Amino acid sequence: MITFLGLIVTILVIIAIARIVRILELTAYLSGENSERITEKNNNLQGTLNLVFLFVGMIFIVFTTWRYSRFILPVSASKHGVQIDNLMNVNYVLIFTVFFITQILLFVFAFKYRHNKNRRAEFIPENHKLEFVWTIIPTIVLGGMIVYGLTVWNRITNAVSNKDAQVIELYGKQFDWTARYAGKDNTLGKANFLKININNPLGVDSLDPNAKDDILVKELHLKINQPTLLSIRAQDVIHSVYMPHFRLQMNAVPGMTTQFYFVPSITTDEMRKNLNNDKFDYVLLCNKICGMAHYTMKMKVVVDDENQYAEWMNKQKSFDGTAVADNTNPIKVSAVASK
Amino acid sequence: MENQAHVINGHDAHGHDDHHEQSFWTKYVFSQDHKMISKQFLVTAIVMALLAMLMSMTFRLQLGWPDNKFPFLEKIWGHWAKGGKLDPTFYLSLVTIHGTIMVFFVLTGGLSGTFSNLLIPLQIGARDMASGFLNMLSYWFFFGSCCVMTISVLLPDGAASGGWTIYPPLSALPQAIGGSGIGMTLWLVSMVLFIGSALLGGINYVVTVVNLRTKGMSMTRLPLTIWAFTITAILGILSFPVLFAAALLLVFDRSFGTSFYLSDIFINGVALDHHGGSPILFQHLFWFLGHPEVYIVLLPALGITSEVIATQSRKPIFGYKAMIGSMLVIAFLSFVVWGHHMFVTGMNPFLGSVFVFTTLLVAIPSAVKVFNYIATIFKGNLVYSPALLFAIGLVSFFISGGITGIILGDSALDINIHDTYFVVAHFHIVMGSSAIFGMFAGVYHWFPRMFGRMMNKTLGYWHFWITLICVYGVFFPMHFLGLAGVPRRYYANTAYDQFDQLVNINSVISVFAMVAGLAQVIFVANFFYSMFRGRKAEQNPWNSNTLEWTAPVEHLHGNWPGEIPTVYRWPYDYSKPGAAEDFIPQTVPFSQTESSNAAGMH
């Protein structure tokens, strides 16, 4: 029934528009306009509308930016994120400047030079000086942006080789995440997809001595100011580790291991205070389409201070079943243990 | 070369006056006439665009009001919207097919197919395409691929649902998502047909432009439309075969047990027997097409805009040679920037740096184009046809969407906004809306050339303003969703407390999207009404200089009765000082315009 009604409504709308066209044509004919030629009246109205649109549009842009900018992610909870945010701010200034100048020129000219039968357009096919200027300026500005951008990028990506980092594996599968902590030795046990079974969801090689103290958890706990190296794998299809509050994203690709190095710099408690929201939690989202329940594939992320972290870690069970002692500094702890 | 071209043309001009009898089938269906093929492309593209729009409106309902039920959806989509609630898998199918249709069928096949076919022979002064037969095949391959893609939506298991980029392993494994079964197979079949169409068309366009230009039509006297179409065709010829290779290897992985893209996969309790492949390889191959594809979509729209802005401003396009140069530079760069889609895939960061460098360079020729458009309007005398409005809209979008590209092309910034709504906003403005506005500009401008009738201008104005406002209403707020960290391709954001506050933005966006959708009904009604009942067009309704307006309104096989016109000047002699009229068609020799020759003889 509804399909039928919908069809009828659609047909009626189309007929109505066709009728309106007919009426428009008749009125145009009666007022002496006998073609679809563009009249001075059209030019004045459309030219003016361009100016109106510019005004209303600018108000809309400014209002929306003011109204919605409160939703932009809060201050970065990682050290490298601050550099990204600074770079972003420079970009905002640049693109808003370009945006306003060019849009204003475009629509103001569109209004100002609307057709006037007493005037003739000026024949200006080129102007080499002007063209040189507006080629060279973007070139210099973009050159600067490239250098600045790549400096930040290199700083972020080169840090992967930092040896002091605590290693944590993130493992994605349809549709959940698992984190594996390397334990006291700060070395992840080997893993192989052929070893995956119900009791060994990550396919960790139990014969590998490095695996004995590995810990599997469903909630990612990070220690404040602890350099952390995420080692990322996937079981079935591509997933993506996305932790927006830390300005962190890296794909999880079946058949290979990817990495991301970062230093968390604001604890969950501090962030809750900053945001005035007791219920706030960091979150890890899947950000690469991975199947039906992609939109629910997440993991809670907690940034602890030293004590909270040690307390949490003590409660976890490792692969060989022992509780894990406080590894405030995993490198040092493992060094002590080997003595 | 020109003389030779003329000879070929002359030879080709066999008996264009004696109309050989054409049956309904050879005239309207299996036509080899470029003008008819152009109309076929356009009408097919409009139908496909409406389908893709219906899909987008469906998923905008879901995104805008994730907690509501819309019982009428069940009437449209059947069991995929039981009780009015969209199925999450079907949501993914909808975004996938929406993207595929819009990018390939509307903005590649529809845009290039329509306007390259219509304008290349008419604007360079040729009787027809170099090969009418290949041209016909190009359309029918396109039609076939549209049919296959549409049928795939009706499958019980659902259409392809891995996103229009069909990244494996998701697209390779039916056990990963329903749409990766037969739906994905049909997607690949459709795409192979489409690639066939694009290549047949592209080769034809290039050959025609190189060989069949009329006497006097040197490369630097070509309208910018033709330059844009030619460069586009070359991009297509060089990049579509790579997509074909990527698709073929995917077919092998799906059906014949190879492991090009698959390795170490454990799914549904089974460890698959695939070793050593790399999903990243697919992404490299895909984006080697995928990025030039952006310009395959955009360049024709820019070419159309150049022509429309110059004609309607009654002014030569500013910096003709700079326009050609910047298109060539953009085309070249488009082949060396594909990695900017892959900054966070685990690709070597150094390689990432190289792609940042090349990507940001694209902004330079793009800026030059924008400045040239603005300079063309400057001190012009703008005749506001709907086409001019759409062309101005395109320039506005090209700016708004282009500048956010500077952010996305910067790998360090991309880390945080990759695959978020910021990206969705960016490409829908700079590529989607720009290109579709270019297409609208083209339709309004050349409708009299295509159908011998005028479109209604008042409805054209309404169509433009509503659409322009709605496009900004939809896509500007979307940037903020991205900056709030909302990933794209999420069926709902309800699983995340922090996104609850954004529901309102999504509703606003959806309302704008619905209105924009309704505004297209105005266009469709105007289009089909005018086709049959519109006012009869004059031969040169826009007082344009280019050759297509020297051909009679009534379509002839062979375009011109008698001799093909000879060209004496560039196409942009508008408002030349000393000339009596504010335009001098390309067919007027300098010997007849001595009073205006002092202003330069291009």
pLDDT in the model for residue B133: 95
Domain-embedded: residue A318 = yes
pLDDT in the model for residue B450: 95
Percent of chain B predicted with pLDDT > 70: 97
**Residue A320 — pLDDT band, cuts 50, 70, 90?**
low
pLDDT in the model for residue A1: 56
Residue B410 identity (one-letter amino acid): D
d(CA B370, CA B489) in angstroms, rounded, equals 32
Residue B555 pLDDT more than 70? yes
Residue A323 identity (one-letter amino acid): A
Count the domains in chain A: 2
Chain A residue numbers with beta carbons less than 8 Å from the beta carbon of B418 are: 249, 287
CB contact under 8 A, B320 and A83: no
Residue A323 pLDDT more than 60? no
Residue A172 identity (one-letter amino acid): G
Chain B residue numbers with beta carbons less than 8 Å from the beta carbon of A154 are: 349, 353
Chain B residue numbers with beta carbons less than 8 Å from the beta carbon of A38 are: 383-385, 457
CA distance A213 to chain B (A): 24
**Residue B12 to residues B64, B212, B259, B428, B536: CA-CA distances in angstroms?**
57, 10, 51, 43, 31
Which residue(s) pair with A318 in the sheet? A215
d(CA B79, CA B529) in angstroms, rounded, equals 35
**Residue B499 to residues A72, A263, A280, B483: CA-CA distances in angstroms?**
11, 25, 11, 12
The beta-carbon neighbor of B396 closest among A106, A113, A138 is A106
Interface test with A, best of B376, B379, B478, B512 (most A CBs within 10 A): B379
Kindly state the average pLDDT of the residues B495-501: 90
Residue of A315 and B194 predicted with greater confidence? B194
The beta-carbon neighbor of B176 closest among A43, A130, A291 is A291
**Residue B4 — pLDDT band, cuts 50, 70, 90?**
very low
Chain A residue numbers with beta carbons less than 8 Å from the beta carbon of B361 are: 142
Kindly state the average pLDDT of the residues A65-73: 92
CA distance A84 to chain B (A): 6
Residue B368 pLDDT more than 70? yes
d(CA B318, CA B298) in angstroms, rounded, equals 20
pLDDT in the model for residue A262: 96
pLDDT in the model for residue A23: 80
Give the structural domain span for A22: 1-37
d(CA B31, CA B556) in angstroms, rounded, equals 13
Interface test with A, best of B167, B415, B467 (most A CBs within 10 A): B415
DSSP per-residue letters across A179-243: EEE-TTTT-PPPB-GGG-BTTBTT-B-TTSGGGTT-EEESSEEEETT--EEEEEEESSS-EEEEE
CB contact under 8 A, A130 and B265: no
Chain B residue numbers with beta carbons less than 8 Å from the beta carbon of A123 are: 315-316, 574-577, 599
pLDDT in the model for residue A6: 67
SS3 category, A260: strand
CATH number for the domain harbouring residue A323: 2.60.40.420
Please indicate, yes or no, whether residues A194 and A334 belong to a single structural domain of this protein: yes
Residue of B1 and A104 predicted with greater confidence? A104
Residue A112 pLDDT more than 70? yes
Residue A319 pLDDT more than 80? no
CB contact under 8 A, B477 and A107: no
pLDDT in the model for residue B26: 82
Chain A residue numbers with beta carbons less than 8 Å from the beta carbon of B383 are: 38, 43, 115
Kindly state the average pLDDT of the residues B387-403: 97
CA distance A15 to chain B (A): 8
Chain A residue numbers with beta carbons less than 8 Å from the beta carbon of B459 are: 17, 20-21, 24
Kindly state the average pLDDT of the residues A183-202: 90
Q: How many CB atoms lie within 10 A of CB A18?
A: 17
B522, closest residue in chain A (CA to CA): A17
CB contact under 8 A, B483 and A71: yes
CB contact under 8 A, B378 and A113: yes
Residue of B128 and A163 predicted with greater confidence? B128
CA-based angle B276:B281:B284, to the nearest 5?
170
What is the tens place of the pLDDT at every residue in B97-107? 999 999 999 99
The beta-carbon neighbor of A124 closest among B276, B318, B524 is B318
What is the tens place of the pLDDT at every residue in B179-238? 999 999 999 999 999 999 999 999 999 999 999 999 999 999 999 999 999 999 999 999
pLDDT in the model for residue A37: 84
DSSP state of A76: -
Residue B547 pLDDT more than 80? yes
**Residue B517 — pLDDT band, cuts 50, 70, 90?**
very high
CB contact under 8 A, A293 and B382: no
CB contact under 8 A, A238 and B170: yes
Residue A300 pLDDT more than 70? yes
pLDDT in the model for residue B377: 96
**Residue B397 — pLDDT band, cuts 50, 70, 90?**
very high
Token pair of A309 as six digits: 């972290």
The beta-carbon neighbor of A254 closest among B263, B496, B541 is B263
What is the tens place of the pLDDT at every residue in A93-103? 999 999 999 99
Q: Average pLDDT of chain B?
A: 92
Residue A337 pLDDT more than 80? no
Interface test with B, best of A11, A50, A112, A120 (most B CBs within 10 A): A120
Residue B18 pLDDT more than 60? no
Please indicate, yes or no, whether residues A29 and A173 belong to a single structural domain of this protein: no
| Cα distance from N-terminal residue to C-terminal residue, chain B | 19
**Residue A173 to residues A237, A249, A294, B90, B167: CA-CA distances in angstroms?**
7, 17, 10, 21, 16
Tell the burial category of A121 from Cβ atoms under 10 Å away from its Cβ (0-12, 13-18, 19+).
buried
Total residues found in chain A within this entry = 339
ipTM of the complex: 0.93
Chain A residue numbers with beta carbons less than 8 Å from the beta carbon of B413 are: 84, 87-88, 91, 149
> String of b and e for B281-302 (b: at least 16 CB within 10 Å)?
ebbbbbbbbbbbbbbbbbbbbb
DSSP state of B164: T
Backbone angles phi, psi at B382, to 5 degrees: -75, 120
The beta-carbon neighbor of B483 closest among A73, A105, A154 is A73
Which residue(s) pair with A303 in the sheet? A222
Interface test with A, best of B268, B377, B540 (most A CBs within 10 A): B377
Q: Average pLDDT of chain A?
A: 89
Kindly state the average pLDDT of the residues A129-135: 94
d(CA B220, CA B377) in angstroms, rounded, equals 22
Q: Which residues contact A261 (CB under 8 A, 6 or more apart)?
A: A156, A159, A160, A162, A165, A227, A228, A229, A230
CB contact under 8 A, A18 and B538: no
CB contact under 8 A, B382 and A110: yes
A253, closest residue in chain B (CA to CA): B279
> Domain locations in chain B?
1-13+37-150+191-216, 384-533, 537-602
Domain-embedded: residue A15 = yes
Kindly state the average pLDDT of the residues B262-288: 94
CA distance B474 to chain A (A): 12
CB contact under 8 A, B316 and A124: yes
Residue with tokens 């006037």: A116
What is the tens place of the pLDDT at every residue in B44-61? 999 999 999 999 999 999
d(CA B232, CA B340) in angstroms, rounded, equals 21
B359, closest residue in chain A (CA to CA): A146
What is the tens place of the pLDDT at every residue in A256-275? 999 999 999 999 999 999 99
